[in-house]
Amino acid sequence: MGARGGSGLYVGRRAAALVAAVLLALLAALLALAALYGRCRGEEAPPAPPKSPDGAAGGAGVPGGPPGVPSWRRLPRHLLPLHYDLELWPRVRPGQAGPFSFVGQVNITVRCRQDTRAAVLHSAGLRIRGAAVRGPLPEPGDAVWGSLPNPGVVVEVPELQEAAGEVAVLELRGRLQAGRRYVLQLGFQGRLEEDLDGLFLTRYTDQGRSSMLIASQLEPTYARTVYPCFDEPAMKATFNIRIIHDPSYVALSNMPAIDTSEMKDENGSLWTVTTFKTSLKMSTYITAFVICDFDYVTRTERGNEIRIWARKEAIKNGYVDYALNITGPIFSFLEDLLNISYPLPKTDLVALPDFGAGAMENWGLMTFQESSLMYLPSDKFTSRKAMIAIIVSHELGHQWFGNLVTMKWWNDLWLNEGLASYFEYLGATFVEPRLSLDKIFYDHVVQPVLREDNEVGVRSLSQNEDKIKGSFSLISLFDSITYNKLYLKEFSFSNANQDDLWTHIQMVVDAQDEVHLPASVKKIMDSWTCQNGFPVLTLNITTGTISQEQFLNKKNENTSTDSYNNTWIVPISWMRNGSSQPLIWLDKSSKFFPEMQVSESEYDWILLNVNLSGYYRVNYDQLNLKRLVHLLENDPKAIPAVSRFQLLDDVFALTQFGYIQIETALELTKYLAREDELFIWNVVLLNLVPENLESTLKNYEVYPLLKKYLLKRMLPIYHYYAGFIRQNVDALEHDYFAKVYLEKLFATACWLGLQDCLDLSYELYTKWMDNPQYKIPFLIRRTVSCYGVALGSDKEWNFAWEMYNHTDSTKEDKDILLSAMSCAKESWLLHRYLQYGLSDTLFSSNCTSIIISYVVTKDIGHRIAWDFVTENWPLLNERYGKELLHDVLKVMGRFVNTDVQIQELQVFYNTTLEEDERVTATLLLEFAKVENVERRQLLTKVADWLHKNVDD
């Protein structure tokens, strides 16, 4: 599905000469994504259907269920699909009120692999009618639409059972014979909902008119809700598809349309029939259908017709032109890189106004949330171009990894998602060469996964098959661990598992003698994929030893028990005194490396995991950390930017999880006056000034010290960017990190009271008030709007209110203004704002909790918001119920700073909440109490350290 990050690898054409680089790069990239889609066992064979006494596959069935109903989750393999003839007819007309339904017919040609008296396939939420089985078919010969060549006899279906597990069982009067082909014929009917899964309907506005469209989202197991099928990724088949639809719509599917005709329904009404070319062999979850009245733009790339479909208004305004311009070049780039041509004659990309999956890689018919494809001229100072390039690259990567070669079962989902992500940043960088690929990848992908993949309960990358029990379990695999953790030709139009990939890498290793691994590729990779989490390596430069353990929260008592004893086979890239050193391997819990011992010189230092090439954290001894602090203060560029980022991120994570003290992390921030990389500043500010602690940090002990310490170091980079804001903001159009992180830098500078930041904010806000056509630079619009209101009075607040109610304000503009109005420093304005929030005529109901949440996070707003909630609770509860309660209490609990406030919240819970709600809220409060104790201890340490170092 949609892109959530990934890495990249360039495979050169001179394979023999570069085999070492290829292998090491691949291993490093896979490890860098690692928690790698782990697996602790070999691929299990699908369960064979149990034999009934007469030798036919029938099965004991579900206890108490009808005979022939299997009790396993996977379909039995006595029938394998070869070809589908599928007709879909959504009974939808423009302007129709609903409810909506669809009907259809599917003829599935199957090969019988074992004698059986039952046909078992998937069906969920469908009403099946007119089931029949014909055959055996003559050999050779394929079914074609409308007629069957010598279809043979009809095998009677006296009973159709819909069993648990989303399967349908056709009980047969006769026996299907092993080795022969048959056709299952089923009519079906289903409901067309607006839930964004399966075949769904969605409403939208285009050129001022209300419209609706029909689209599909079938991954992972929603194909069975659209048509009866063998809905498993390994059960590939070819498809003939035809769609019956209203004549005012166009129908799209995986393959090009080859015919359109007309037909009349039972009432004599006219419908259009669109028939599509026979597909390539593919899995059910990437079949796709869209029925819409969109327009499109098109271009041809190496014979591949590329069309991007969107609302007529978006096409007319050129909003998808950027996506069109990059899609073809990315296709060509991937073809050249992989040396395998794209096998389809056309590609459609559809921008859906409402789409829950974000993006979906259906073969030949990719679907996207429209915001993922549309680039507006006003977006020039957002990161939208990069986002579009990354998402499009990800979905195009799936055309090979996932569609051409597919995982055998969902436990190896990483073979789809991981390898598509593996190329997405390469494709994006190819079309947007100004992007700093390495910095973006580690900032957006590796660091967030390292933050998430560190608890005992976090799953390993590839799950054991018996843990993947149903649709809910499958959907849970589509998380950041999966997305962020060369066998194509052999497995084209087929399926593979993880070990197939290791086998092919091993073949490359065995064919050369330049690279020597400490173990087989499978053993190395299984050390990562058979256990959850990742290691932290601890280096002692005095003894030259490196030890490893699983990175866990040492503040918790939980311990991990794992068959691999938390030992990984780790490739370690390292440098000494600025010079890169040969790769070493840590294949034990602890190992002595004589080359890691250093001299007494303070200029003799070691850095591990250079450019974050491995998926682990590093903990240095105090001696090496002291030398790195000295190095950063004197020559920060001696350490590569990504490694500086990693060093700071690691040290704050080690602090948070109890490995080292906060003072150690703070020592590494002394050099920051010489740091000119925004993405590094961002990781520092996220740790030193997290948004959920701003009010806590504003206490009398820490705030003045933090203000003096940080501003002294922020001034150089602040003034550098402030100069662009004042004189030539257009020069930042291609500065990706300015688009992403400049807001945080400016917001922190203003929060710390930097007068230049406050003056600039008020100056730009006043300029906007004087001329509402003026646009505050998007890069800092939220900060400027907030402090423009904060530094003014009711005049500035009323202007924000007026702009909020302006008819052409975008959704993003409105959210910025909702936040800005909570920044007022006069309490009466906040009281009035909260009262406005109660009005159904001034705000939509979902804005009420947003307004309260914004106000409660502000310095003077916390008490005002709390009083407002308690005074108006009966009305708030009556109108908005548990949803608002959940939103408000979640925020309130985050901003309580003292035990007295916690007690006050507890009293409120006891007097206003139902028992079940009270239990949940009390647990949150208990957690807040513990956090308060830890927070006070931490702030005391920070204050003490700042006292000693603020003037350095």
Please give the span between the terminal C-alpha atoms of the chain, in angstroms, as a whole number. 50
Catalytic residue among 171, 395, 424, 677: 395
**78 annotated binding-site participant:** no
| Alpha carbons 125 and 258: distance in angstroms, whole number | 31
- Which 3 state secondary structure label does DSSP give 384? helix
**417 annotated binding-site participant:** yes
**301 annotated binding-site participant:** no
Other beta carbons within 10 angstroms of residue 599's beta carbon come to 9
Tokens of 502: 């290791």
Strands 270-276 and 579-586: unpaired
| Alpha carbons 252 and 546: distance in angstroms, whole number | 57
| Alpha carbons 643 and 57: distance in angstroms, whole number | 59
CA atoms within 13 Å, Cβ hemisphere of 194? 12
CB 167 within 8 A of CB 66: no
Which helix (H) or strand (E) element contains residue 841? none
- Using alpha carbons only, how large is the chain's radius of gyration in Å? 31
Active site residue 395: yes
Other beta carbons within 10 angstroms of residue 316's beta carbon come to 11
Burial (0-12, 13-18, 19+ Cβ within 10 Å), 119: buried
- Which 3 state secondary structure label does DSSP give 435? coil
Other beta carbons within 10 angstroms of residue 180's beta carbon come to 17
Distant-in-sequence, close-in-space partners of 657: CB < 8 Å, separation ≥ 6? 454, 551, 552, 553, 554, 555
| Alpha carbons 352 and 314: distance in angstroms, whole number | 11
Q: What angle do CA 903, 934, 853 make, to 5 degrees?
A: 55
Helix axes 321-338, 384-398, angle to 10 degrees: 40
Distant-in-sequence, close-in-space partners of 728: CB < 8 Å, separation ≥ 6? none
CB 136 within 8 A of CB 152: yes
| Alpha carbons 853 and 774: distance in angstroms, whole number | 29
CA atoms within 13 Å, Cβ hemisphere of 794? 6
Distant-in-sequence, close-in-space partners of 326: CB < 8 Å, separation ≥ 6? 388, 389, 392, 431, 432
Tokens of 492: 């084209």
| Alpha carbons 574 and 348: distance in angstroms, whole number | 45
DSSP string computed for 651-672: HHHHHHTTSS-HHHHHHTTGGG
Phi-psi region of 141 (alpha: psi -120 to 50; beta: other; left: phi over 0): left
Other beta carbons within 10 angstroms of residue 214's beta carbon come to 23
Q: What angle do CA 741, 747, 751 make, to 5 degrees?
A: 150
Torsion on CA atoms 595, 599, 602, 604, rounded to nearest 10: -30
CB 560 within 8 A of CB 552: yes
User: In 135-197, at which residue ranges do the beta strands (DSSP E only) sit?
Assistant: 154-155, 159-163, 167-176, 181-192
List the one residue out of 586, 786, 624 whose CA is nearest residue 694: 786
The residue length of the chain stands at 952
Torsion on CA atoms 654, 547, 26, 385, rounded to nearest 10: 10
Strands 535-540 and 617-620: parallel
List the one residue out of 415, 410, 398, 550 whose CA is nearest residue 485: 415
Instruction: Label residues 858-867 b or e (16+ Cβ within 10 Å = b).
Output: beebbebbbe
- Residues annotated within the binding site are 394, 398, 417
The residues annotated with a catalytic role in the active site are 395
- Residues at the binding site for Zn(2+) are 394, 398, 417
